[in-house]
Structure 1
Amino acid sequence: MYINPPVELQKKIQPLPLPFSHQNSPPPPPPPNGLLSPPLSSPHPHHSLLQTPPQTLSLVSQIRTPTPKTLTPPPHKPPKFSESRAFPDSLPLHSKNPHVVYRDIRRFARLGRLREALAILDYLEHRGVPVNATTFSALLSACSRLRTLALGRQVHVHIRINGLQSNEFLQTKLVEMYASCGAHEDAMGVLSELSPRSVFTWNALMRGGVTGGLRWGGSPLRVFAEMREAGVGANEYTFACLIKSFAGSPALAQGMKAHALLMKNGFAGAPTLLRTCLIDMYFKCGKARMAMKVFDEIPERDIVLYGAVIAGFVHNGLKREALEYLRLMVEDGVEPNSVIITSILPAIGEVSERNLGREIHGFALKKFRDYNKLVFILSGLIDMYSKCGDIVSGRRVFYGSSERNAVSWTALMSGYASNGRLDQALRSIVWMQQEGIRPDIVSIATVLPVCAQLKALKPGKEIHCFALKSWFLPNVTISTSLITTYSACGCLDYSRRVFDGMTKKNVIAWTALIDSYIKNGYPSIALDEFRSMLLTSYRPDSITITRILSACGDLGALKLGKEVHGQVLKMRLNQIPLVKAEVINLYGRCGEIEKARRVFDRVQSKGSLTCTAIIDAYRSNGRYKEALNLFEWMLSNGFIPNNFTFDVVLAVCDKAELHERAVKIFDSMVREYELKASEENYDSVIGLLTRAGRIVEAQSDTSPTLFDWINITISMEPHHDASDWARVELVSGRVSKDLIGLDEPTQVRFELQE
């Protein structure tokens, strides 16, 4: 049978948005069915922030593009869409038989191009060509994966038109699709048409609920209970869906009940699938010991079990344990696959095991020749090398790849940002477009914090515009990053508009808004926003509490601070180190040093944060001797001071005019604790010595290789005579000679404090 396409088919089939370069390539075609990006004159809540939306990110005018040595030539771009190229081998549509067209529909579904697939379905319906159940199954699976309810309903209509509404297999897929998309009533409607209802249909309903992140009637046990009441026996896949529904939720008690029910029904010793689900559930509930108890009871362990254990350890932040079980897996003769390597690479980066990462790098290149498997491993390798501080190796992996995608570009961008190369991270968003790769949501969420750190308002606005045109908004993560970016640039009105335009807010977004007011010097407005947050259904977390406590300290609002402290005790956040330190800071800044000391004494597990907070509290209340005594107590009890601790202690020595002790403390910081002195550390020591009239000593206590950080300061007081100025001239001359010998340009600041 031959199919002659009408002219309308080319209009209805829209191509996947093509990647565009920055300068010459056209923008992607608009979504079909009127889903056009709204003009800036439309009442979108964010459009008032943007003047002229650029077609793409126009950062090239500000940022130098890479040389050919650092950027390989872009790959061949895909051709523009045409009807002759819509199918494999560039064959025209009329030369295909129905089975080949069915295969092409399934290919579109696999690629997520459901609108093109539905356009072909409309054409087949117009020609009276039937479609088989396998093709509809592929379309429903794609709708479940992408959670596109509207397109799923269109597929349902086509199933009815083709007379397959009584097909039990398709009805089961429909139940799963509706459940995955959150349409519980539609799922139950399809379920009611089934008679009798088999265990596979009930499993599909539960599986769809797990995929969609839903909790039926407040409890995942409800569907299971209805299934048992209907007299349908459960199989191992039923219990697997039930156990997965508890993973990642606080419903540990229900998960343990499911475990007990599993053993009661005779599934205790057999299927590996169920044991893997139990291990995953316990890990995601934060119970690593219970997960390992299940693992230890399994005599024969395969790669799936080891993969669940390694991923569980990584999920709970137990990086060393994950690496240990990777070693045990290899000793048991189980060879890692691409999934395990992808999950273990972040753990290697976190613990900076670069040599182990290089071994896994070599193993991956030797074992995996399939690019689809290797591309995610390469992105993980870039991230791993970047976390180990070896951005050069990360770049080598990136530019050594023949094909790069948005995932690998985002990994490189994140690596640049984590290693302090913010300019290169910002340039990467342009470079990837010049290579024909369109930034995705993760890329935008990665580059926005870079704009915040650089206080780059114009690029931030351009990225905001790109997110609007790409329909990435309202996305909570991107909206929160935009709030932070505009706040860092001092544009609080923009941050407020972005927040007000969010359809769904969460605790992180509220915290970002509160923090933006605090950092820009409006703590009273931050407190008002905190009160507004309490009137909603969202409850503050530990980060929100610390920011509010900081605002109370800035305003000296002791009464409100006490109320927040009460909330801390009520929410059982008083043992979190950052929260404990902020409570101590609050009482110290409000002059309640005795209350600060009582809070400190009641802390069960003290650390450098709480010790630094109580030392700073004594410093702010002028009790310098007690502050230094606490510092000595901190060292004698084995607590390791950090840079901020030394900043506080040096400030105490400055106020108490303990010059000799300040020099000794500074020396121990650099030599004994091997901490890299910051600009503030040098400012504190040099300022302390120069105000004591010991300018030459201040110069001699610093290293010539660090003169790019030095701030030579002298206090202008009446007793400073010509000899003091002569010493300043002597030091500045010595600095000039040192700077001449440096290879790189260096910035030195000379300040006169009145």
Structure 2
Amino acid sequence: MVKYPVSPLLNQFSNFSTIGQWNSSIREAVNHGYAHKALTLFRQMKQNGMEPNNWTFPFLAKACAKISNLKCSQIIHTHVMKSPFWSDIFVQTAMVDMYVKCNQLNDAYNLFVRMSMRDIASWNAILVGFAQSGFLDRVSCLLHDMRFAGIQPDPVTVMGLTRAVLHTKSLKLVKSLHSFSIRIGIDVDVSVANTWIAAYAKCGDLGLAEVVFNEINIDTRTVISWNSMIAGYANFLNFCGAVNSYKCLQHNGFRPDSSTIVSILSSCVQPEALFQGMLIHSHGIKLGCDLDICVVNTLVSMYSKCGDVDSARFLFDRMSDRTCVSWTVMISGYAEKGNMNEALTLFNAMEAAGDKPDLVTMLSLISGCGQIGALELGKWIDNYSISNGLKDNLMVCNAFIDMYAKCGSINDARELFYAIPERRLKPNHITFLAALQACSHGGLLEKGWEYFDMMTTKYNISPGLDHYSCMADLLGRRGKLKEALEFIHQMPIKPDAGIWGALLGACKVHRNIEIGEYVSYRLFELEPQVAVPYAEMANIYASVGRWDRVAAIRTMMKSNKVRKSPGQSLIQVNGKIHIFTVEHRGHHEGRLIYVMLDSLHLHLKKERSQLSYGAEYELH
């Protein structure tokens, strides 16, 4: 992969004669990503008897910030305090920013309040630090103090605060910052507008992102403006919008860059987008972007998500320089397809290559285990997570609860749920969703109600559609179909297809035509092109011998041009994945499998008849 060209100055321990030469070399090392080299150069400079000046320290602070190393930061700060430049406003601001980026907010603030003079850069550094850490009340106070001191916020202030608060996903907060920037007259700055486009898209309001983009004067739009809009469409998986913007970008005389290619490829996540993804890949090659490691990683992800794992692996194997992201997207590609054999082989190769798996790598593997029900492999990954200190993360715990539930190990899921507070973690809405799904898999209605009530009473979490869907599914599985329907009607949120679909599945299990018909027509209205409700309702009619209604459903499907793909099941046996498709009997051990299935069917039938006889005997 392409690396920045490194100056000969960085390839040797040099003996420069002026401080300007040393500063130039240190700056070059930092700007090209060689932070440790910059600090080494500083040590050599001191050994050669050369004293740093007020230009040296900001470069060194930037190096410490890039590697987020507190010890190095404290050493550099000590050198500053011993120098004549300890009160220089530029040096002090660099120190504040350094401590912020090392997550030492108290040290940064203490240094900030001791500054005899502060400029806009000093205020921006501390404001962004508090905003990133979620101390929004302190940010409000600091903004007030800043304006009281006669310093007006600038575009950097607004952009820094906006990016810092994006982790909250609060549309209301982003709108407030937008209004603030309009009030102080900096909304016309194109860089600020580009930030709003990205912010609104990430907070779930694509419409407002489009409004901001359209309000930018066509003569002042930059390639970043277009990239922000394309990334916004990609964030919503709006492939058509992303492609149209990509075409308009070129029509308006702009040349796509690596960020453009990465953004538009990120919108290609379905098999039907594969051809367009290949065209964008081809265009990326013509532009010379295919050598950028971020582009190649995105291409591997795109081909995997679009179902062409072989092309993804071809690109991966050709990479001369791989990062943790490279390994993870390829492992994720195999895990999503249920090929855990290949995913685990790559995982082992990743460790052998010296690349350490991160949280995303682990989440991909855990999800893959849940998908195919690979409980033993899931437990091995659980032990690996503990031994490598990765299980002290709430996302990982949530993923394991979900995986254990899908693998049928309900007790393991429940034990982990109750252990979360013991790990000094606070359950969130995803934790409760995983716990409710575990109850749904195990038919644990009473526990489900307990967790559902616990969300609001103990953790002040408002249930979302997914939580309501789990409860409706749980009631349905226990045969309480009328209670489930009443529960849905009393919800404070409008039910979606997922909730109705869960109840329809329960109607199929319990052969309830009356409620099934009511629910299916709700689904036909919501998703007329989705085949599952038609198939479910046809199965309900077939189970009670209503063949005329089965024929009517099939006629309706043809009329609405609804196509049903054959269902698939995956199972792992002795470390090997086996895939079974409806009506496909080509498995090499098919005869044995179907003899066993017939035997199990007869056994279940016999058990059912014995239970019925026993019930009748007790009644008499």
Whole-angstrom distance in 2 between the partners of 1:697 and 1:331: 65
Whole-angstrom distance in 2 between the partners of 1:375 and 1:719: 63
Determine which of 645, 648, 665 is the counterpart of 2:467: 645
Counterpart position of 2:592: none
Counterparts in 2 of 1:461 and 1:421: CA distance versus 1, 3 Å = closer
Whole-angstrom distance in 2 between the partners of 1:718 and 1:386: 46
Determine which of 660, 663, 680 is the counterpart of 2:482: 660
What is the Cα deviation at residue 317 of structure 1? 6.4
What is the Cα deviation at residue 497 of structure 1? 0.8
Whole-angstrom distance in 2 between the partners of 1:689 and 1:356: 47
1:435 and 2:252 aligned = yes
**Deviating more after overlay: 616-625 vs 565-574:** 616-625
1:535 and 2:355 aligned = no
Determine which of 443, 457, 476 is the counterpart of 2:274: 457
What is the Cα deviation at residue 251 of structure 1? 1.5
Equivalent residues in 2 for 1:236-275, closer than 5 Å: 236-265=54-83, 267-268=85-86, 270-275=87-92
Counterparts in 2 of 1:688 and 1:336: CA distance versus 1, 3 Å = same
Counterpart position of 2:147: 330
Equivalent residues in 2 for 1:572-591, closer than 5 Å: 572-591=389-408
Counterpart position of 1:131: none
What is the Cα deviation at residue 206 of structure 1? 1.9
What is the Cα deviation at residue 493 of structure 1? 0.7
Whole-angstrom distance in 1 between the partners of 2:542 and 2:525: 28
What is the Cα deviation at residue 471 of structure 1? 1.4
Counterparts in 2 of 1:540 and 1:644: CA distance versus 1, 3 Å = farther
Counterpart position of 2:24: 204
Per-residue deviation, residues 341-372 of structure 1 (Å, max 9, x unmatched): 333344577432464355355357x5688xxx
Aligned length: 550
1:611 and 2:438 aligned = no
What is the Cα deviation at residue 667 of structure 1? 3.7
User: Counterpart amino acid of 1:184?
Assistant: N
What is the Cα deviation at residue 441 of structure 1? 0.8
Whole-angstrom distance in 2 between the partners of 1:338 and 1:398: 17
Counterparts in 2 of 1:614 and 1:472: CA distance versus 1, 3 Å = same
Counterparts in 2 of 1:299 and 1:685: CA distance versus 1, 3 Å = farther
Whole-angstrom distance in 2 between the partners of 1:534 and 1:387: 33
Identity, % of aligned pairs?
Answer: 23
What is the Cα deviation at residue 298 of structure 1? 2.6
What is the Cα deviation at residue 601 of structure 1? 2.2
Counterparts in 2 of 1:706 and 1:328: CA distance versus 1, 3 Å = farther
Counterparts in 2 of 1:402 and 1:586: CA distance versus 1, 3 Å = closer
Whole-angstrom distance in 1 between the partners of 2:403 and 2:186: 57
1:414 and 2:231 aligned = yes
Counterparts in 2 of 1:249 and 1:301: CA distance versus 1, 3 Å = same
Equivalent residues in 2 for 1:610-629, closer than 5 Å: 610-629=431-450
1:709 and 2:495 aligned = no
Counterparts in 2 of 1:708 and 1:623: CA distance versus 1, 3 Å = closer
Whole-angstrom distance in 2 between the partners of 1:659 and 1:357: 47
**Contact 2:402-2:437 at 8 Å conserved across structures:** yes
What is the Cα deviation at residue 700 of structure 1? 5.9
Q: What TM-score, normalized by structure 2, do the two folds share?
A: 0.77
Counterparts in 2 of 1:721 and 1:321: CA distance versus 1, 3 Å = farther
Counterparts in 2 of 1:312 and 1:633: CA distance versus 1, 3 Å = closer
Whole-angstrom distance in 1 between the partners of 2:200 and 2:434: 35
1:362 and 2:148 aligned = no
Per-residue deviation, residues 450-509 of structure 1 (Å, max 9, x unmatched): 122474111111111111122112222111211121112211110001111222211111
Determine which of 707, 716, 720 is the counterpart of 2:544: 720
Counterpart position of 1:685: 503
Counterpart position of 2:46: 228
Whole-angstrom distance in 2 between the partners of 1:732 and 1:348: 51
Whole-angstrom distance in 1 between the partners of 2:375 and 2:501: 32
Whole-angstrom distance in 1 between the partners of 2:134 and 2:318: 35
What is the Cα deviation at residue 275 of structure 1? 1.8
Equivalent residues in 2 for 1:514-593, closer than 5 Å: 514-593=331-410
Equivalent residues in 2 for 1:132-171, closer than 5 Å: 148=5
What is the Cα deviation at residue 430 of structure 1? 1.2
* Larger Cα-atom Rg: 1
**Contact 1:482-1:495 at 8 Å conserved across structures:** yes
Counterparts in 2 of 1:318 and 1:507: CA distance versus 1, 3 Å = farther
Counterpart position of 1:83: none
**Contact 1:422-1:454 at 8 Å conserved across structures:** no
Whole-angstrom distance in 1 between the partners of 2:323 and 2:387: 21
**Contact 1:357-1:384 at 8 Å conserved across structures:** no
Equivalent residues in 2 for 1:363-512, closer than 5 Å: 366=185, 374-387=189-202, 391-400=206-215, 401-403=217-219, 404-419=221-236, 421-453=238-270, 455-512=272-329
1:351 and 2:170 aligned = yes
Whole-angstrom distance in 1 between the partners of 2:550 and 2:404: 43
Question: Secondary structure, in 3 states, of the residue corresponding to 1:460?
Answer: helix
Unpaired segments ≥5 residues, structure 1: 1-43, 45-145, 150-176, 737-745
Counterparts in 2 of 1:481 and 1:665: CA distance versus 1, 3 Å = farther
What is the Cα deviation at residue 389 of structure 1? 5.2
**Contact 1:696-1:727 at 8 Å conserved across structures:** no
**Contact 1:474-1:502 at 8 Å conserved across structures:** no
Whole-angstrom distance in 2 between the partners of 1:637 and 1:490: 43
Question: Secondary structure, in 3 states, of the residue corresponding to 2:544?
Answer: coil
Question: Secondary structure, in 3 states, of the residue corresponding to 2:291?
Answer: coil
**Contact 2:61-2:76 at 8 Å conserved across structures:** yes
Equivalent residues in 2 for 1:730-741, closer than 5 Å: none
What is the Cα deviation at residue 213 of structure 1? 1.7
What is the Cα deviation at residue 246 of structure 1? 0.5
Question: Secondary structure, in 3 states, of the residue corresponding to 1:504?
Answer: coil
**Contact 1:523-1:554 at 8 Å conserved across structures:** no
Whole-angstrom distance in 2 between the partners of 1:240 and 1:609: 42
User: Counterpart amino acid of 1:231?
Assistant: G
Counterpart position of 1:631: 452
**Contact 1:383-1:411 at 8 Å conserved across structures:** yes
User: Counterpart amino acid of 1:606?
Assistant: P
Counterpart position of 1:4: none
**Deviating more after overlay: 689-698 vs 539-548:** 689-698
What is the Cα deviation at residue 602 of structure 1? 1.9
User: Counterpart amino acid of 1:494?
Assistant: S
Counterparts in 2 of 1:636 and 1:345: CA distance versus 1, 3 Å = closer
Counterpart position of 1:99: none
Whole-angstrom distance in 2 between the partners of 1:560 and 1:704: 40
Whole-angstrom distance in 2 between the partners of 1:621 and 1:583: 16
